[in-house]
A and B are shown apart, each in its own frame.
Chain A
Amino acid sequence: MKKVIMGNHALSYGAMLSRSQVISAYPITPQTQVVELLSEMCADGKLDAQFIKVESEHSAMASCIGASVAGARTFTATSSQGLALMHEMLHWAGGGRHPVVMGNINRSMAPGWSIWADQNDSLSQRDTGWMQFYCSSNQEVVDTVIQAFKVAEALMIPAMVILDAFALSHTYEVVDVPDQALVDRYLPPFKPAIKLTTDDPRAFGGLTGAEHYMELRYRLEKDMEKAPALIEETGREYGKLFGRDLGLVDPYLCDDAEFIFVTSGTAGYTARVAVDELRKSGVKAGNLRIKVFRPFPFDRVREVLGRVKKAAVVDRNCSYGAGGIFYQEVKSASYGRPGMPPLFGYIAGLGGRDITTDSFKEVAAHALSKDRPDEEIVWIGVKK
């Protein structure tokens, strides 16, 4: 059924269709509509779940972890400061292998107070053992939540479904809301092999000496390495049922491109418009939108990079002292490989500043005027 819904409600529909059993959340702008709609769905009986209205994001994630270890499918949503407050518990969910699925609305970190989009909140959590999916449309948000549960529960690794503040969270788009019966076929109930139960009493997460700890983390990494293939496999399966394949990356006109943008989030769709316009003016441009950041899709990124002459990575984030975070990852993917093009790094759109087609044209003009990058970061649209 087609509905016109906002990005935040797309998360709520995803959680409802996935038959989340425990939802625990704390309000933060611009995430509030996610949990408002879910609390209504619980109150109306549309969703058979317990909704825990906790007193902080830290407690939200702690109670999600508790519910998950007891065997319940568990969902939450947050943003920015809330995600940062959860940081300790993100490690707990990742290290404890609790497949919680969480929506995160990309919002800039304070100070100064900002409620607008950039990616530093979620990218600061990249080493916590969570998968990260960056979405570009409300349709992709609904679809990805459902897929995220499937992958997370298969690997026992939590997953974050991420969307830009306002550019997606508060933007209404037409969404084909999947049919519940088909979702049930795609996503069976959560049945973990090991859970907290008095029938089989176990201790979870106790003191772990140096003789065991490393193996636990080795297994987490090994399972994370299985995720790219599983995301593609479950993405194709999703495509068969719902007509929309879900992949690790989303290339646009990359097959014959000589110059590409590498993007993520909503900027990835703006880049497509810039690509169309550049092509009209004779530049063989393309766009590689990276959807999954953890695990990083090294192979898919290399495949595309290997076909082009030049690539410009546009980051809506900054690792202070090291530059754009996607830029670093893309460089790392290409390092030491033959046939890789020069990579240029740009930072744009921090704190919700718009990234427009003109921003991309400025990026293209800069990258095409040089043979090789001569700066670690080129700032786009900044008042210097």
Chain B
Amino acid sequence: MSQEVKKEKKFTMTLPADELMACGHLACQGCGATLAMRYMLKALGKKTALCIPACCWAVIDGPYPYSSMDVPVYHCAFETAASTATGVKAGLEMTGDTETTVVAWAGDGGTFDIGIQALSGAAERNEDIIYVCYDNEAYMNTGIQRSSATPYGAWTTTTPVKHFKTRPKKDIVAIMAAHRIPYIATASISHPEDFFKKMKKAKDIKGTRFFHVYAPCPTGWKSRPEDTIKLARMAVQNGYFPLLEIENGEKTTLNLKLKERKPVDDYMRLQGRFRHLGPDEIAAVQAEVDARWERLIKGCAA
């Protein structure tokens, strides 16, 4: 018994134990987006202000007059995460607070679709904000409708199995890289230390910083809540969601080099949203992931 305790003591926590998010939030079981917020706040600390548009997190934070956060939150309009955050940063600076990190925290719909104009504008101006897109690959808060982040083949309530999504996911990282902003990173809740390290790094960079965070959604993906982290890890390991950084739109660094990529098949089979797909369609997804991976490797070498 005493030996076991000793063994446990050897385990070192690399993330700070301090929590800026309380446990009374309203997320579904196994919500990836909630872990993403928790890890981000551990890295950014108390001097952080959040602008959250319509998305799951508009609900997760808690209804008026409650908030599950120990940092200020401005709930903003759907398409205005980047523009509201721009204003908050300017307002804080003009009233003497130059320290606070202002974060726009939006889902994939608010980023890839309705908020992309404001995001592009802020990035082109190089506004001094961190923009985080937690990507659960559909409009989950409104009840699982397809967004332009929904992958090929997926079922959603607006892409029924008889008419599943036949277009690939929009490449938001490439779009943001084309803006040549100082820093872009992808991150996954399955790799919190990597996420934490990159968020710490981003905090000290001035200008627009963009994070694309992979956030599995059991409710929308028809997966088991206990598989959330497993799914996120599989997506990293099979190359579906590579962990990378891009500096100034040019220098790409792959954070997790994979000697051998696992097939996407196992990952897809754990999710009800892909259940209707046959071997040909899964092969098509595999081919797309392979092609993207090759392009990424070439990009890193260049």
Contacts and interface: CB of A to CB of B under 8 A. Distances in A.
A59 B73 contact: no
Nearest to B46: A198
B118 A58 contact: yes
Interface string A40-78: 000000000110111110111011111111111010000
Given A59-B118, A202-B67, A72 B83 contact: no
Given A62-B80, A66-B84, A203-B73, 16 more contacts: A22-B91, A50-B90, A52-B86, A52-B87, A58-B83, A62-B83, A63-B84, A66-B85, A66-B86, A66-B91, A69-B74, A70-B94, A198-B100, A203-B75, A205-B75, A209-B64
Interface of B: 46-49, 51, 58-59, 61-67, 69-77, 79-80, 82-95, 97, 100, 117-118, 120-121, 124-125
B91 A201 contact: no
B75 A59 contact: no
Contact of B61 (A53, A65, A203): A203
7 contacts: A62-B76, A71-B91, A196-B72, A196-B92, A198-B97, A206-B58, A209-B63
Contact of B95 (A58, A71, A209): A71
Contacts of B85: 66
Contacts of B64: 203, 206-209, 212
Interface of A: 21-22, 24, 49-50, 52-56, 58-60, 62-72, 74, 88-89, 92, 196-198, 200-209, 212
Contacts of A206: 58, 61-64, 66-67, 73, 75
A198 B59 contact: no
A65 B69 CA distance: 21
Contacts of A207: 58-59, 62-64, 75
B51 A66 contact: yes
A188 to B, nearest CB: 14
A59 B121 contact: yes
Contacts of A74: 87, 91
B88 A196 contact: yes
B79 A63 contact: no
Nearest to B86: A63
A367 to B, nearest CB: 45
Contacts of B90: 22, 24, 50, 52, 63, 66-67, 70, 72
Contacts of B51: 66
B84 to A, nearest CB: 4
A198 B72 contact: yes
B94 A72 contact: yes
Contacts of B87: 22, 24, 52, 62-68, 70, 74
A70 B92 contact: yes
